[in-house]
Amino acid sequence: MVCAMQHIENNGCTLGPVDSVLETLDPYNFKYIEETVYNLAESDDLSLSKPVKEALQVIEEAYKEFGFEATSLSFNGGKDCTVLLHLVVAVLSRLGQPTSIIRTVYVTCLNPFPHVDEFVHICSKRYRLDTVSIPGPMREALQKFLDCSHPKPKAIFVGIRRNDPYAEKLTHFDMTDKGWPQFMRVHPIVNWSYKNIWDFLIQLRIPYCSLYDDGYTSLGSMNNTHPNPDLARKDGGFFPAYMLQNESHERCGRSTNRSV
């Protein structure tokens, strides 16, 4: 319990090594993020530079197609959304919008981890998010977000990946299904692997939610989320999420299929 309190006191962020520039509680310098992310996209490490470059191109295309004011972000504090958020602000800076406020929806679950709420809160400050928190379920929450947003979003960035449930056939741009609030879902990291996510976060030393350091590999509510048994240590603790070897076991700590 003491460890958990320390994590929450750290704004829900990892206590592991992070870039000192990104430790501030003040708004981030988007230009710095642009430089580090675009440099990574041009690096010789093709296993990571290729998916980074692809994601940046998708985000750039989305902003050019739908505009800055009509493009929003879905953010829930998970590892995938944290990567997506960092990529989005890099593109905003590259497109000449280094101080833009990002209209963001945070769809909350019942009995959420306080670590996640704290992390979302500090990210809203650091990344200049205009965050609207709306209780689930998802369909109703998204409709409420559209109804309270002016102008109404035409597109929303979503941090879903190919191996997530029901994501097998997704492309970078997909309209929502019939019966759902209508907008373009933009999936910049849909082709990323679990390893890509952690390589990006660790290589750029980006703050992420502290629960991942305690063996959680997929986050939901406190009712259905537990440390991943694959990461159990002999001393009774758990290795951090980035040490998971079998990516197909990412959701072994969940009693439902949704993950972040």
CA dist 142 and 78 (Å) reads 18
Give the tens place of pLDDT for each residue, 224-240. Answer: 899 999 999 998 999 99
- If you average pLDDT over every residue of the chain, what do you get? 93
In three-state secondary structure terms, 159 is coil
Angle made by CA atoms 220, 230, 256, in degrees to the nearest 5: 30
Residue 9's pLDDT band (boundaries 50, 70, 90)?
low
Q: Just give the CATH number of 2-186.
A: 3.40.50.620
pLDDT in tens, 23-59: 999 999 999 999 999 999 999 999 999 999 999 999 9
The pLDDT value given to residue 254? 83
Lowest mean pLDDT among 91-95, 213-217, 220-224: 220-224
Q: Residue 96's pLDDT is what?
A: 95
User: Which tens digits make up the pLDDT trace of 139-162?
Assistant: 999 999 999 999 999 999 999 999
Query: Residue 68 has what DSSP assignment?
Result: S
Residue ranges per structural domain of the chain:
2-186
pLDDT of residue 120 exceeding 50: yes
Residue 207's Cβ-count burial label (10 Å; 0-12, 13-18, 19+) is buried
Average pLDDT estimate for 4-9:
50
Q: What is the pLDDT of residue 256?
A: 52
User: What are φ and ψ of residue 52, in 5° steps?
Assistant: -65, -45
Share of the chain above pLDDT 70, in %: 95
DSSP 19: -
> Of the ranges 11-15, 42-46, 125-129, 164-168, which one carries the lowest mean pLDDT score?
164-168
Average pLDDT over residues 6-10: 62
Is it the case that residue 257 has pLDDT exceeding 60?
no
